[in-house]
Amino acid sequence: MLNAQKILKFTLSLICVFFLSVLYTHAQYYPGYGRGYGGGYGGGLNRYGSEFDNVKPKGPLDPDELAKEETKWMVKKLKLTDEQEILISSLNEDYAYQRKDLYDRIKKEFGTERPTPQQISDAKDKMAALEEKQNKELEKILTPEQFKIYSDKKADAKKKNKQ
């Protein structure tokens, strides 16, 4: 009887080791289960950079909020005059709505299908053209020094986004 109990314990321990190794291997290849970047039940960060699994990603800011944030940054960093602040606030709001409309149209063109590389390139060109148009109007309002600071900051932001 003693040998049967030892064999049973040995067999059960082998089965446990097998299942644990399967779970460990599964967790390595599928983040979000077990330990690792994805969080899941084993802790760690989820894909939104939070340790809480019920955190939802923030959606894009609405155009009004985006325009206010841009203007707020410009007032602080570029030291805008009152007149410049009024003009730029209006300009930022106008272009925030234009970007949203363009984004919605592009998204609608893509539909539910994955966009082709050509469609992605065209969408980027449209967004870049709108940004260039806004920059030309900003250049008329800002001093050359202010516009240089603004342009440098935008270039830095683009570099960070590419990384």
Q: Domain spans of the chain? A: 2-42, 63-162
pLDDT of 139 = 94
CATH number for the segment(s) 63-162: 1.20.120
48 and 57 in contact (C-beta within 8 Å)? Answer: yes
Does the pTM of the predicted model rise above 0.75?
A: no
User: 11: which 2 tokens?
Assistant: 């067999």
Q: How far apart are CA 27 and CA 42, in angstroms?
A: 9
pLDDT of 100 = 92
Helix runs in 111-143, H state only? 117-141
Q: Which residue in this structure is represented by tokens 């049967």?
A: 4
Question: Per-residue pLDDT for the chain (163 aa), expressed as one digit of tens each?
Answer: 556 666 656 555 546 445 445 444 444 444 444 444 444 444 444 444 544 445 555 556 789 999 999 999 999 999 999 999 999 999 999 999 999 998 888 888 888 888 888 988 998 899 999 999 999 999 999 999 999 999 999 888 888 887 7
